[in-house]
Structure formats: C-alpha cells, structure tokens
A and B are shown apart, each in its own frame.
Chain A
C-alpha cells in the first residue's frame, strides 16, 4: 500500500522504516533512500534551500508513482515522505522506503520511485548561495534515469 506524506517537519528515518515492518512477519526486505541537502552544489556554497511544491498535485503524483511501482513489482508497502519549505545543509529532504518479501523487488522499486519522483513530482528547489538566490536547474541525467524504466 502506498503511504505518501508532504510536510515541512523533519522525520525520524528509523521510526518511519520500523513502521513498515511492525507487527508483521511477511516482510523479508526493506530498502530505503534518504536524500539530504548538500552544502555544495554546482560549484557554489549553499547556505539554505527552499522547496516549493504544488499542493494536491504533489501528493497525487507521488501516489501514482507508488502505485506504478506496486504494478511493476511484488511489493508490500511503499513509503514516500518529502519535505517542503526552508531547509539547511545536512537536513533530510526525502525518504523512500519499500518493503517486500525479497530484496530484489525492494531495491528495484526504491530506485524506480526516486527516478520518477525526480522527474515527475512537482517540487522545485531554490538555493541561497554567495552569488544570490537561484532556482535549481533540472538535470538531463535525471531524465535519462527515468527513461531507463520505460
């Protein structure tokens, strides 16, 4: 089942991943990805980041991506938590967790969800650097990664 949350607040990675397995004995594997704010991007020091999103469409897009993962692999649960608002270097941005009976499905689905999230979920990053504030440009390498799943 897909679980999707978009929030300003930080999250506890351990607690969120534990919740995927609590009280069940059919989960054999949990794969996860955590994305964080780096202090250096494209050669510039980043002092802060602001994440904008499209409320409503964001949640729908993330749910669609998780549902697509469930259609492609035999999964138990998928979890996506994505933060919005003001963030600083070292802060967590996103957590993807996937539970399944065996590791292959969990690894593959976790990477798939991130690749699709990067290119399909309506989030936009703005970075504060010594040269001023700038919108982060989309990367062709992210598009290529997503196309690899078609």
Chain B
C-alpha cells in the first residue's frame, strides 16, 4: 500500500485529500499509479488528463513519472506551487 495525498486545486477536483491505495504492480512507478487514478470516474480522468499541469512528490521529494514506488511510500500530487 502507498499513501496518496492531494493538495490545493487538485484536492478540490478529486474531492479527497488523502487515501491509501494498493501498489498497482510489482516494480510499480508513479506512472502506473497515475494510470490507475485516471481510470476512475470523470473528475479523476479530467484531473489527470494529458496536458493537465500537476506535480508529484514521493516521500516529500520532487519526483516524476519514472520514480519507483515501494510499500509505505507517501505520494503527493499537487498543482504548480504559488507561495512567496
């Protein structure tokens, strides 16, 4: 299992801030997790549609689609940041 977090506008679009999901496959990557989220209902497909600007972090470090996932990882999806 991995913990998946959603922040800001992305959290509002998918309607949840946190959930626990099974790792999609052995040797899974962020890309495979995104595919499984995109395969859900309309809001999820829309939020993760190609061309949508989102960022991902694994264990609180900036990650990308190729980043591997392991049991217990914390994966966060969020829009481009706007602090400062």
Closest to B12 in A: A135
A-B contact count (CB 8 A): 71
Number of residues in B with C-beta < 8 Å to the partner? 17
23-82 of chain B: CB within 8 A of chain A: 53, 57, 60-62, 76, 78-82
Q: Does A93 contact B (CB under 8 A)?
A: yes
Number of residues in A with C-beta < 8 Å to the partner? 26
Closest to A139 in B: B82
A41 to chain B, nearest CB (A): 11
B21 to chain A, nearest CB (A): 18
B residues in contact (CB < 8 Å) with A: 5, 7-9, 53, 57, 60-62, 76, 78-84
A residues in contact (CB < 8 Å) with B: 35, 51-54, 56-57, 60, 82, 93-94, 114, 117-126, 135-138
